[in-house]
Amino acid sequence: MKHPHSRRDFMKASALITGGLLAPSYLIPGAYAAPQNHLKLALIGCGGRGTGAVFQAFDTGHPIQLVAMADAFADRLEGSYKPIFDKYGKDKVNVPQERRFVGFDAYKKAIAEADVVILASPPGFRPSHFEEAVRQGKQIFMEKPVATDAAGIRKVLAAAEVAKAKKLNVVVGLQRHYQNNYREAMKRIQDGALGDIVGGQVYWNDGGVWVKPRIPEQTEMEYQMRNWYYFNWLCGDHIVEQHVHNIDVANWAKNGYPVKAEGTGGRAVRTGKEHGEIFDHHILTFTYADGSVIHSECRHFPGAANRVDETFQGTQGKAYLSAGNHGLLTDWKGNVIYDHDRKNQPNPYQQEHDELWAALVKGEYKFADAENAAKSTMTAIMGRYATYSGKVMTWEESLNGQVDLFPETLAWDAMPKVLPQADGYYPYAIPGKTKVI
Amino acid sequence: MKKYLFLLGLIAMSFQLNSSAIFIPYSQKIPGTSVSFDMTPIPAGTFWMGSDEGPAPDQKPRHSVRVDAFWMGTHEVTWDAFELFLDKQYEKSVTEGVLESRVDALARPSLPYLDMTFGMGKEGKPAVGMTQYGAIQYCRWLYLKTGIFYRLPTEAEWEYAARAGSADRFFFGSNEDALGDYAWYAVNSRQSTQAVGTKKPNPWGVYDLYGNVSEWVIDYYEADFYARSKAENPVNLARALYPHVLRGGSFASLASELGSPVREKSDPAWKRIDPQIPKSQWWFPEAPFVGMRLVRPLIPPSPEEIEAYYTQVPLVDY
């Protein structure tokens, strides 16, 4: 192992940084030691979002060295390494070829090299990546959603408990929790500014996202991994991958999780072979323990009206919230209770890293986002179970669902569970017929 | 870049063609769809560009400029048209017959993960949040669809058309109080874009020149450009990704920020909340006030020069 400082100095510095809270990576044979004072970072999942998260980590200004990267695909890893290296240079980016790990099990090796990990692979991998990072005692930033089915959620909830016991900081990229308009409005809602929240509406209606074409030489596994948005074992459907943000805000406003979901969904306009098995709309109601009902709507219809925001009604007033820094609370006479100043607001994607890394460099244990993230993801999954099955789904039966979407084997020549039919189209859920749990 | 310079040289040349018979307002239908947009002829002429009166040093010195004839978009580009370009699947679904292969093969924007209407609505409303590159690629898509060369205005063309012969701060004079008749701006917009063409036009028949959305032009922004710009068809070509010029102000502008000579500039901070790296070449997730307006030069350049204009690739942004 080559590094400019003695092992003794490094151990001293490392213990200082971490407050001795985690099993330090210098105990792991072969792990690279970063310069004194530097926290070692590994990126697991080298897409645009993971790369962006590394930028945000560096932009906190704290002493961080990126020491390892992992992705299923070498081209994705290299495409991420280049902008990171170009921007931050060799002192911050120390990822030689031997610490660029490629393949399905790459994450284990990259996690072992670091003090802190960013988990940003497609959501289907999050449970196993999170579980491994917790097992290895790492500090964690992970992206949302945190699973794609109930089996994954149960794994994340169990690991979240271990993370708490080990005092591992876990921040999840449900960045509205790190955005001032939401924080200020929610603080007031929790304090009763609107009375009891008795209803609400949460939306992510827009035109949809990227599609990756099938390349002839790809195996089915590679194609699904590249075009992952359209396959449930990887994505969870857009209600989980995207609308989780708004559903999570509903849970935040209600300070709890719904007891049941019922609704309708389908494929109205996004119906191609390349669109895999996911729906293009889900319209639901979520009922909470006190009987209050939140309407949830997400659709990917190009050409139709867009709406991405959250509204709530309380016994004494109403709220309008959006990622565009809206945070407006009014009483039922129209008097403004609170109106968040939308100008010059911090970037929530930066804020979540600023707060996490400030705690990490001081050795503090402050963040345990995994449990709420798992339960909000579960809420979205319950919504998908309801639209796919056409049935009323309860929280308990959904969380205990036994349908595991994950492939039996992860290998490029192995087969995922959902495969194209003879005509090239993928089978998708039929309400009234499809078994979801 | 050399090719591009040459191209703009050609745009600037005066041609001895008698096109007056066809130089009239027209409506451009987007083939195969029910969408169309209107173009207004702007005759060649000479005007005083900039202003020596205001406090803004980048408007000085006031100088005489001649521009050749062109059509200008009667309205800002709306989502109705822009969304066809934005999403090829959508374009296919609403287009009669199949897309021609040259249209099918065009690189399209990454579909934005965020809601790029910012809750302000689509129908009849200006398309917003696109980068200058995205705006130019929209022009390219239109060219492939229609065979007609559409591009962004030069800064000089924009100001010439906006002034419509007026030497005052506004085409209607100097009285800010009349702005509400002609413009959606901070005072009356409720902080949102509004349907195009719902205020009065300028004397040449062009709507929403002030307010609603700030409009991309070709020019690179330099505060001192007027001190050295050419007297005929000036344009300041890009030397970097930022800043580029926008004109006209938006729904968010104060009256004091509006006027024919007012120059605005693009800002990398508009991509601040893009959570991806590299940041999108196509979208500014914090610029709901940025839009575009088309120009069609009366005398188009050659196909090779058109291709050169459309195929400039911007620098990677991160």
How does pLDDT run across A68-90, given as a tens digit for each residue? 999 999 999 999 999 999 999 99
Is there a domain that residue A168 lies in? yes
Same domain, residue pair A255 and A382? yes
Question: What pLDDT is attached to residue B182?
Answer: 98
Instruction: Read off the amino acid at residue A207.
Output: G
Quick check: A208 and B111 CB within 8 A?
yes
Same domain, A269 and A201: yes
Tokens of B267: 């800002």
Please state the ipTM of this predicted complex: 0.86
Mean pLDDT of B33-60: 96
Is position A109 within any domain? yes
- pLDDT of residue B97 exceeding 60: yes
A407 within some domain = no
Same domain, A229 and A143: no
Beta carbons of A356 and A367 less than 8 angstroms apart: yes
| Of the listed ranges A13-17, A329-333, B256-260, the one predicted with least confidence | A13-17
Same domain for A301 and A197: yes
**Where does a domain end: A175, A208, A227?**
A175
- The answer to whether residue A128 scores a pLDDT higher than 60 is yes
Q: Quote the mean pLDDT of chain A.
A: 93
Residue A11 in this model has a pLDDT that exceeds 50 = no
Cβ proximity of B238 and A10 under 8 Å:
no
Over residues A189-235, the pLDDT tens digits come to 999 999 999 999 999 999 999 999 999 999 999 999 999 999 999 99
Place of tokens 């070709």: B218
Position A140 in a domain: yes
| Tens-place pLDDT, residues B132-174 | 999 999 999 999 999 999 999 999 999 999 999 999 999 999 9
A324 and A190 assigned to the same domain: yes
Comparing A2-11, A212-221, A350-359, the range with the smallest average pLDDT is A2-11
Q: Which residue of A has its CA nearest to B123?
A: A305
Do both A295 and A166 map to the same domain? Answer: no
Pairing outcome for strands A64-71 and A39-44 = parallel
Whether residue A32 is predicted with pLDDT greater than 80 in this model: the reply is no
Token digits of residue A8: 């003794």
Q: Cβ of B100: how many Cβ atoms within 10 Å?
A: 12
Do A42 and A92 lie in a common domain?
yes
Pull the structure tokens for residue B109: 């924007």
> What is the model's pLDDT at position B317?
79
- Domain total of chain A: 2
What pLDDT sits at residue A34?
72
Shared-domain flag, residues A149 and A229: no
- Please return the burial class of B209, using the count of CB atoms within 10 Å of its CB with bins 0-12, 13-18 and 19+: buried
Taking a C-beta distance cutoff of 8 angstroms, is the pair A384, A211 a contact? no
Contact B228, B247 (CB under 8 A): no
Residue of chain A nearest B119, judged by CA positions: A307
A305 domain-assigned: yes
In a domain, A357, yes or no: no
**A37 and A105 co-located in one domain:** yes
Torsion angle of C-alpha atoms A187, A191, A195, A197, degrees rounded to 10: 50
Residues A222 and A120 grouped into a single domain: no
Please state, rounded to an integer, the average pLDDT across all residues of chain B.
92
* pLDDT range class, residue B215, cuts 50, 70, 90: very high
**Measured CA distances, A59 to A53, A55, A63, A175, A352 (Å):** 10, 6, 10, 17, 12
d(CA A326, CA A342): 6
Specify the DSSP element, H or E, that contains A222.
helix A220-226
Using the predicted structure, report yes or no on whether residue A20 has a pLDDT greater than 50.
no
Domains of chain B, by residue range, sit at 2-310
In this predicted structure, which of A17-26, A232-241, B218-227 has the lowest mean pLDDT?
A17-26
Amino acid at position B306, single letter: I
Q: How far is A298 from chain B (nearest CA, A)?
A: 12
Looking up residue A78, the CATH number of its domain turns out to be 3.40.50.720
Res. A2: pLDDT tops 70: no
pTM of the model: 0.90
- Answer yes or no: is pLDDT of B4 > 80: no
Band (pLDDT 50/70/90 cuts) for residue B312 is confident
CB-based contact B84:B91 (threshold 8 Å) = yes
Q: Are A199 and A368 in contact (CB under 8 A)?
A: no
Whether residue A250 is found in the same domain as residue A167: no
Distance of residue A8 Cα from the nearest chain B Cα, in angstroms: 38
Interface of A with B (CB under 8 A): 47-49, 51-55, 80, 83-84, 86-87, 175, 204, 206-211, 242, 269-270, 272, 302-303, 305-309, 322-324, 347-349
Residue that finishes a domain, picked among A152, A175, A198: A175
Q: Would you state the pLDDT for residue B55?
A: 84
Q: What burial class does residue B181 get, using C-beta atoms within 10 Å of its C-beta: 0-12 exposed, 13-18 middle, 19+ buried? A: exposed
- pLDDT band of B16, cuts 50, 70, 90: very low
pLDDT of residue B318 exceeding 80 = no
Cβ neighbourhood burial of A191 (10 Å; 0-12, 13-18, 19+): exposed
**pLDDT interval class at B5 (50, 70, 90):** very low
Return the pLDDT at B314.
Answer: 83
> What average pLDDT does the segment B283-305 reach?
96
Using CB atoms, pick whichever of A210, A306, A309 lies closest to residue B110: A210
In this structure, the answer to whether residues A182 and A161 fall within a common structural domain is no
pLDDT band of B2, cuts 50, 70, 90: very low
The percent of residues in chain A predicted with pLDDT above 90, rounded, is: 91
Domain that holds residue A278: 177-343+370-399
| A342 to chain B: closest CA residue | B191
Residue B121 at interface with chain A, using a CB cutoff of 8 Å: yes
**Region B30-47: what's the mean pLDDT?**
97
Measure the CA–CA gap between B103 and A366, rounded to whole angstroms: 53
Identity of the residue in B94, B119, B275 whose CB atom sits nearest the CB atom of A322? B119
Q: How far, in Å, CA of A371 to CA of A379, rounded?
A: 12
Residues A53/A143, Cβ–Cβ less than 8 Å: yes
A102-116: pLDDT as tens digits: 999 999 999 999 999
Question: Domain for residue A360, yes or no?
Answer: no
B78 pLDDT above the threshold of 90: yes
User: Residue A178 to residues A341, A343, B138, B154, B309: CA-CA distances in angstroms?
Assistant: 16, 16, 35, 42, 42
Instruction: Pull the structure tokens for residue B168.
Output: 């005052």
Q: Is B3 within 8 Å of B311 (Cβ atoms)?
A: no
Give pLDDT tens digits for A299-354: 999 999 999 999 999 999 999 999 999 999 999 999 999 999 999 999 999 999 99
Per-residue confidence (pLDDT) for residue A31, from 0 to 100: 60
**Candidates A54, A87, A207; nearest CB to B111:** A207
Query: Is A326 a member of any domain?
Result: yes
Task: Kindly report the number of other CB atoms within 10 A of residue A98's CB atom.
Answer: 11
DSSP run (H or E) holding A236: none
| Domain at B2-310, CATH from 3.40.50.300, 3.90.1580.10, 3.30.160.270, 3.40.50.920 | 3.90.1580.10
